[in-house]
A = this chain, B = another copy of it.
Amino acid sequence: MSGKVAVIGTGLVGSGWAIVFARSGCEVVLFDSGPGAAEHARTVIAERLEELAGFDLLKDTPAEVLARVSVAPSLAAALDGAVYAQESVLERVDVKRQLFADIDAVIGPQTLVGSSSSGIPASLYTDHIACRDRCLVAHPVNPPYLAPIVELVPAPWTAPATVQAVRALMERVGQAPVEATREIEGFILNRLQGVLLMEAWRLVEDGLVSARDLDTTMSQGLGLRWAFMGPLETIDLNAPGGIADYARRLGPLYQSIAASTAEHRVWDDTLIAKLEAQRREDLPAEALAERRAWRDRRLMALARHKQDMQQAESGE
Contacts and interface: CB of A to CB of B under 8 A. Distances in A.
Given A221-B189, A222-B189, A292-B237, A179 B253 contact: no
A297 to B, nearest CB: 9
Contacts of A299: 224-225
Interface stretch (A27-35, A121-129, A201-209): A201-209
A1 interface: no
Interface residues of A, number: 102
A92 interface: no
Interface of A: 119, 141, 146-149, 151, 176, 178-182, 184-186, 188-200, 203-204, 207-211, 213-233, 235-237, 241-244, 247-248, 251, 253-262, 264, 266-267, 272-273, 275-276, 279-280, 282-283, 285, 288, 291-292, 294-295, 298-299, 301-303, 305, 309, 313
B285 A242 contact: yes
By CB atoms of chain B within 10 A, which of A208, A210, A283 has the most?
A: A208
Contacts of A178: 209, 213-214, 216-217
A203 B186 CA distance: 12
A227 B146 CA distance: 14
A269 to B, nearest CB: 9
Nearest to A267: B251
Stoichiometry, copies per complex: 2
Nearest to A244: B276
A228 B302 contact: yes
Q: Tell me if A's interface is mostly helix, strand, loop or mixed.
A: helix
A248 B272 contact: yes
Contact of A267 (B211, B242, B247): B247
A184 B257 CA distance: 10
A111 B190 CA distance: 46
Contacts of A260: 185
A266 B253 CA distance: 11
A310 to B, nearest CB: 10
A256 B264 CA distance: 10
Given A211-B232, A279-B236, A309-B301, A220 B176 contact: yes
A224 B184 contact: no
A258 B195 contact: yes
B262 A200 contact: no
A242 B196 contact: no
A190 B232 contact: no
A244 B275 CA distance: 8
A189 B295 CA distance: 23
Contact of A188 (B119, B207, B217, B229): B217
- Which of A182, A258, A288 has the most B CB atoms < 10 Å from its CB? A258
B188 A141 contact: no
Contacts of A232: 200, 204, 211, 214-215, 275, 279
A147 to B, nearest CB: 5
